[in-house]
Structure 1
Amino acid sequence: MEEVSTCLPMTEDVAWLRVDEAAEVGRVRRAATGLAERLAFPGSRVAEIGLAVTEIGTNLLKHAVEGQVLLRSVRGEHRAAVEVLAIDRGPGIVDIGLAMSDGQSTTGTLGLGLGAVARAADRFALSSTRDRGTVLTARFRSHRREADLDDGTTAGLTRPLGSEEVCGDAYAVRRAPGRLTLMMCDGSGHGPLAASASREAVRTFCALPGGGPPEEAVARVHEALRGTRGGALAVADLDLVARRVRFSGVGNIGASVIADGRKRGMVSVPGVAGYQARTIKAFDYDLPPGALVVLHSDGLTERWQPDDDLAEQPPLVAAARLLRDAGVRRDDAGVLVAVAR
């Protein structure tokens, strides 16, 4: 019997916005409220998002170093959400509990108004490390009584190179009972043609019948990428019952299992999906409960090592920390994280 699986919800990274001048706080607010309006949020919810994002942007301006806001849309079949990510390299928050109290401020990043932001959001997370910076994530559904769009076990991020408007990296997640299947594609080069290749990889992957092995998915996507720029490609199939991950990759997609504070790399074979992939293999790895599975493009260095608490973070926070700490500036960057609950 064919496995029932879905790629929904789909997440789009709409805009990365730096916050290093006062005028940029207003720019972030307008972009966030404009996104909520395009997703048909009611006016009262749009206003709440505007206030929350203004608070986030103001505190980045006051306290952050290299502060940025990422605005994202999360779309299901009939519902959508706005997701806001704030990331910086500031001094960090010494006492998060105190910072969450109303009326409190801190010499670290994002100290004022955190409690109000958390109350306005439907999903909120915060991670701060002294002298390394802070990551804040907040998801806003259109109506507070709606069920969430996913269970929070996976999250990905993409960031385009420099002034490029589109990122050549893309990812997708298929969900089925007891199983997660992750796909990451790094389109060759950067810009619109690289993005076109990675979008085709996502489209093909999500259209595949469920239940097939990852090496078969890689082979099918490889064929679909002929006529595009091609790229690096990897698929990881997480069996949450048998506690195994089967991985197949072509090219330089970094892939790891993080468990017990240790990072175990997974093996890709040489090649370029869409051009040359003479050998497509799959390898099996243990998947302990609570382990993280990480896929990333070469926009992140493979030399990163997990912090002691990385596996304890929500996947979106973990992805943001990896992008901040391991991301290099000379290429598009994409990272996808799943927790094996």
Structure 2
Amino acid sequence: MDPLTGTGWMTSPSAGDAIWLRAEEPSAAAGARRQAVRMAERLGFAGERLGQIQLAVTEAATNLAKHAVQGEILVRIVRTGEEAALELVCVDRGPGITDVPASRLDGHSTSGTLGLGLGSIERLADRTGMHSLPGAGTVLFAGFSRLGGRAAAAPGPPFAGLTRPIDGEEECGDAYAARLDGGTVYAMVCDGLGHGPMAARAAQEAVAAMREAVLPARPIDLLRLVHQRLGATRGGAVAVAAVDPAAGAVRFAGLGNVAGWIVGPDRRHGMISVPGIAGAKTRTLREHAYDLPRDAVVVLHSDGLTDKWDAAGRPGPSRDPLLIAADLLRSAGVRHDDRCVLAVTTAGRR
């Protein structure tokens, strides 16, 4: 199953299309570079463009190893329609960057890094984003198309997600799917019961149900489709949201402990799920409607992220949804479990 199945569609990458690497030692740069080259060559990257990816990955991993606490880098393939791109996501838990503009300047370096500055990554990539909070940590992402060139890069969809398997597993038991249809984003997160291949199968069946659904549709009807589809699996927790900025509304239906939030600049509002397991006998499903404030962000996440996070200090609603998802995974993804977060932005869409 392709991670992206057409314009306006996005789903979780398969296990072979994404790898998380620790970047806490100088040798981490070589390992991250090898993985990035392996995936980039699968997509047809070659020559100068492949060299640019190697340079960017080396700079990112070297900075994490030298300056960060618990630095990690995700290398993954993302697809949109018939096009595919390579994406890097870097996260750490401190110390943060006190002067973000200076860190973007070529030649800016401390402790003997390449001296290219994080600005070199921004220049080489088609799309980037960075958010840092002193004392807490930094997140950075960079996306690379095969041909390159920021001017030719099309705007991405108003949603992005991240998954990470529990330590020791290659497949993640959590998955997400999102689709933009007629101005409304339909977003789904499934947390398959347990971990490993069987949990991943349940989560991917939920994704398949979303792919096959006819839109527009009510979230409760989409949840019913997922519930029926998971009957032949071990089941899972599922949440579905329909985010309609033009109407200023979110409709939400959840079964189990996947969390749904409407996030404003300084506060967040939780959405209600009913207890149960999708794919097993459960109580009556319910759908709830909520007001959607202007420029709010809608977030769904599995219980691999704690729900005790604060809306303050996070990337603003006009930032890239991948940056918002990465920051939340970094700060709230502290539980020993599969992790998944999906962010839907609405800034400028009303």
With normalisation by structure 1, the TM-score equals 0.94
Counterpart CA distance in 2 for 1:110 and 1:180 is 41
| 2:239 alignment partner AA | A
Aligned to 2:326: 320
- Identify the residue that residue 240 of structure 1 maps to in structure 2: 245
What percent identity do the matched residue pairs reach?
Answer: 47
Other structure's SS at 2:63 match? helix
Q: Which residue number corresponds to residue 8 of structure 1?
A: 9
1:51 corresponds to 2:52:
no
Contact kept? 1:6, 1:206, Cα under 8 Å: no
Measured after TM superposition, the shift of residue 210 of structure 1 is 0.8
Alignment match, 1:136:
140
Query: Against the structure 1 CA distance between its residues 224 and 130, is the aligned structure 2 distance closer, same or farther, given a 3 Å change threshold?
Result: same
Match among 182, 199, 221 for residue 194 of structure 1: 199
1:11/1:75 contact within 8 Å kept:
no
| Structure 1 residues 270 and 150: alpha-carbon distance in aligned structure 2, compared to 1, 3 A threshold | farther
The amino acid that maps onto 1:220 is L
Matched position secondary structure for 1:225: helix
1:139-196 CA distance string (max 9 Å, x none): 0011125854653421111111111111100000011231101000000001110000
Match of 2:37 among 33, 36, 40: 33
| 1:294 matches 2:295 | no
Distance of 2:261 and 2:331 partners within structure 1: 16
In structure 1, the residue matched to 2:217 is 212
Note if contact 1:92-1:133 (Cα within 8 Å) is conserved in structure 2.
yes
1:332 aligned partner, one-letter code: D
Residue identity matched to 1:315: P
Partner of 1:224: 229
1:257 aligns to 2:243 (yes or no):
no
Aligned partner of 2:311 in structure 1 is: 306
CA shift for structure 1 position 278: 2.7
Structure 1 residues 229-238 or 271-280, which shifts more?
A: 271-280
d(CA) in 1 for partners of 2:324, 2:110: 23
Matched position secondary structure for 2:129:
strand
AA matched with 2:138: T
Letter in 1 for 2:117: G
**1:9/1:77 contact within 8 Å kept:** no
Residue of structure 2 in register with 1:20 after alignment: 24
* Alignment match, 1:72: 76
Say whether the 8 Å CA contact 1:154–1:315 is kept in structure 2: yes
| C-alpha distance in 1 between matches for 2:309 and 2:191 | 19
For the residues of structure 2 that align with 1:185 and 1:210, how far apart are their CA atoms?
19
How far did 1:280 drift? 0.9
Distance 1:244 1:54 in 2: 43
Distance in structure 1 (CA, Å) of the matches to 2:127 and 2:213: 31
| Residues 95-104 or 323-332, more deviating | 323-332
Q: Could you list the runs of 5+ residues in structure 2 that have no partner in the other structure?
A: 1-5
Gaps of 5+ in 1: none
Maintained 8 Å contact 1:59/1:111: no
Matched residue SS, 2:27: helix
Name the CA distance, whole Å, in 1 between partners of 2:236 and 2:331: 24
Instruction: State the Cα RMSD in Å.
Output: 1.9
CA deviation after TM superposition for structure 1 residue 43, in Å? 2.8
Give the Cα separation in 1 of the matches to 2:253 and 2:331. 26
Q: 2:339 aligns with which of 327, 333, 337?
A: 333
Quick one: distance in 2 between partners of 1:23 and 1:219?
48
Aligned length: 336
The alpha-carbon deviation at position 11 of structure 1 amounts to 4.9
Cα distance in 1 between the residues matched to 2:12 and 2:152: 17
**TM-superposition CA deviations, 1:250-286 (whole Å, max 9, x none):** 0001111011411100000011000123311100011
CA shift in 2, pair 1:77/1:260, >3 Å: closer
Give 1:225's aligned amino acid: L
Any idea what the Cα deviations from partners look like across 1:92-112, whole Å, max 9, x if unmatched? 1111111111111257x9985
Match of residue 90 from structure 1: 94
8 Å Cα contact 2:97/2:138 also seen in 1: yes
Aligned to 1:102, the other structure's residue is in SS state: coil
Residue 23 of structure 1: how far off its partner (Å) = 2.1
Secondary structure, counterpart of 1:22 in structure 2: coil
- Structure 1 residues 296 and 73: alpha-carbon distance in aligned structure 2, compared to 1, 3 A threshold: same
Distance 2:331 2:217 in 1: 35
Contact kept? 1:258, 1:311, Cα under 8 Å: no
Q: Which amino acid aligns with 1:77?
A: G
